[in-house]
A and B are shown apart, each in its own frame.
Chain A
Amino acid sequence: MALRDAGAEVVYLGLRQTPAQIVAAARAEDADVIGISVLSGVHLALAREVREAQQAAGVADIPLVVGGTIPPQDAAALAELGVRGVFSVGTPIEEVVRGVLEVGLLARDPLTPGGSR
């Protein structure tokens, strides 16, 4: 809701999506950012699988961000997997919005941060 309020187009896939489904949708929608939310604690394994699926589909350049119940000590491991933003429990909404828009815009036009299409 907050991302929509901020002017982003949000394609919400709903619950229980596999990494392959997520990547296929991102590709079909020409997404600027992929965001996944994980509350069960399997964020490391799932983020790895989504990144692998992105590589396999040739869309590794779409930045991946992860939100959910994520202990602070896991943030570094997620970054190593290539996750560009981690929004754990308690992250202010505006920080999530700013973070998602920033990585999305950077990916779209890496030479002019803040630029838009």
Chain B
Amino acid sequence: MSSTDSGIPVEPWYEPPDGPAPALGRPGEPPFTRGPYASMYRGRLWTMRQFAGYGSPEETNERFHFLLERGQTALSVAFDLPTQLGYDSSHDLAGHEVGRVGVAIDTAQDMADLFDGLPLAELSVNFTINATAPIMLAFYLVAAEQRGVDPAGLAGTLQNDILKEFLARKLYVFPPQPSLRLAGDVVEYCARELPRFNPISVTGYHAREAGCDAIQELGLTMAAAIAYAEHFTARGLAFDSFAPRLSFHFSSQLDLFEEVAKVRAARRLWYQIATERFGAASENSGRLRFFSGCSGATLTAQQPLNNVVRSALQCLAAVLGGAQSIHVMGYDEALEIPTEESVQLALRTQQIIAYESGVTRTVDPLAGSYFVESLTDQLQQRASALIEDIDAAGGYVRLLEQGVPQRWIAESAYAAEKAVQSGEKTKVGVNRFVTGDDGPPPQLFTVDETAAARQRARLAARLAARDDAAAKQELSQLREVVAAGGNTMPAFLAAARAGCTVGEITGVLRAEFGEYTEPPPW
């Protein structure tokens, strides 16, 4: 760890003889350009967190065990679309989507089954859930209670970034303002009750995957973080009470040095925003930590094995940028959800970079490169200019409601695709080095068509077994809290304990808040 393969000693970090430049600082020190922690991977490797979920809770539970047995160090739950949109598996609109792109969770009991046999107190779990995030958090906390695990000790991250659903990911349910209220309820509750939990992961990833460039990804993520911080402080939360637990989520695409520079610039920019705009007193409020989801959008359906190499480069960029946790895409993800073989290879990609490449020996190894430092400055400046434009136009939420940043992304995506089509941008195996014979398609994941029916049967059994009057009582309590404007988390927890379903709980919110329809994109 502390010397190269040929025995040359490696220092924890390197800097000019006369000390660090103010724009860089030292690792773990403001403005955190070089990393949020002093020792970084010398102290602790990043968390290897493959995103996983399909079918019913027990099938996903099997995949979780599979990943942990192979050396994964934390979990990340993918939910199916009905769960993300607040429909029960039995709902007409849920149809074929039950258990399709993630696991189907209807009740707190389903959540308990999802984590069956897994050590909740020791595991860090990410939940990729947004519109129904407070409900899934309540289900998880109730599952922990039932297992006798103290919720205060639970570690993990709730994505809970509803603004980027309007921007790019599109799984919104309620209009922006009540959505922000729900996000704030979670943040407030977590600040009080769940000290080890990140209640929100401010995410530029989906905008980038949808087609914007690295500057827009950075600027839009910071604009969203500002909008959340303004909303939470306006409802009376002190900035330092929630900012240290804000987490960030970026993509990591293929332009290696730009991707590294992007996250270095992100740390510096957030420190500046936290201190100058919000007057952070706690150093931790400006210490940006992030998850890298690498990039599915850069993978190709053609010659899919090439994606193994693309994923390795993306993971390397995330590591050189100092990510706290990483998911690597499976090579078959342009075609299907990944097979066991494919996720194992993705995990092995992380492990080979972590344990064989030597890049973890010193912190921020690209610091001081004329090129990388210049790129870092450029990304910060250009993203700052975008933030200023957003401020000048009335703020991020207002622009989102008008569909403006959505159009920026659509335009960038169209331009990028045209560059591939014209050959101006090379995509190996797509517009160059095309053999005409890509070989047989890979063995793809096969969906168990019976999983949805089993999930519906499970839901029916749970509804039959519960105290219906008690469940209805909790739903009407929830309705009152929603109408009165109080924090909804305790009511979600009570409803979860009474066996209420995600569809019932979301139904109450739909009735009170209404549903959002987006403006036409063009």
Contact = CB atoms under 8 A, between A and B. Distances in A.
A36 interface: no
A18 B97 contact: no
Interface string B435-469: 00000010010010000000000000000000000
Interface residues of A, dominant DSSP: loop
Given A41-B447, A94-B421, A14 B301 contact: no
Contact of B518 (A1, A14, A42, A88): A14
A12 B334 CA distance: 25
B522 interface: yes
A73 interface: yes
A25 to B, nearest CB: 14
Given A12-B520, A71-B335, A40 B81 contact: yes
A46 B97 CA distance: 10
Nearest to A89: B301
A42 B100 contact: yes
Given A40-B101, A90-B301, A18 B520 contact: no
Nearest to B441: A72
Q: Which of B96, B97, B300, B518 has the most CB of A within 10 A?
A: B96
Nearest to A13: B520
A93 interface: yes
A18 B93 contact: yes
A71 B442 CA distance: 10
A1 B334 contact: no
A78 to B, nearest CB: 15
A111 interface: no
Chain A interface bracket (under 10, 10 to 19, 20 to 34, 35 or more): 20 to 34
B414 interface: yes
A52 B388 CA distance: 51
A46 to B, nearest CB: 7
Interface string A1-39: 110000000001011101000000000000000000000
Centre residue among A15, A16, A42, A92 by max chain B CB count within 10 A: A42
B170 interface: yes
B91 to A, nearest CB: 12
A93 B418 contact: yes
Contacts of B62: none
Nearest to A14: B518
Interface in A65-99: 69, 71-73, 88-90, 92-94
Interface in B81-124: 81, 85, 93, 95-97, 100-101
Contacts of A40: 81, 97, 100-101
Contacts of A71: 335-336, 441, 444
A90 B447 contact: no
A27 B96 CA distance: 25
Nearest to A71: B335
Contacts of A16: 85, 93
B417 A93 contact: yes
A72 B444 CA distance: 11
A42 B418 contact: no
B179 to A, nearest CB: 16
Among all A-B residue pairs, the 5 with the closest Cβ atoms:
A42-B96, A45-B96, A89-B301, A90-B301, A40-B101
Given A15-B170, A40-B101, A90-B300, 17 more contacts: A1-B414, A1-B522, A12-B521, A14-B518, A14-B520, A16-B85, A16-B93, A41-B100, A41-B101, A41-B337, A41-B447, A42-B100, A45-B96, A72-B301, A89-B335, A90-B334, A93-B421
25 contacts: A12-B520, A14-B517, A15-B170, A15-B518, A16-B85, A16-B93, A40-B97, A41-B100, A41-B336, A42-B96, A42-B97, A46-B96, A69-B336, A71-B336, A71-B441, A72-B441, A73-B441, A73-B444, A89-B335, A90-B300, A90-B301, A90-B334, A92-B421, A93-B418, A93-B421
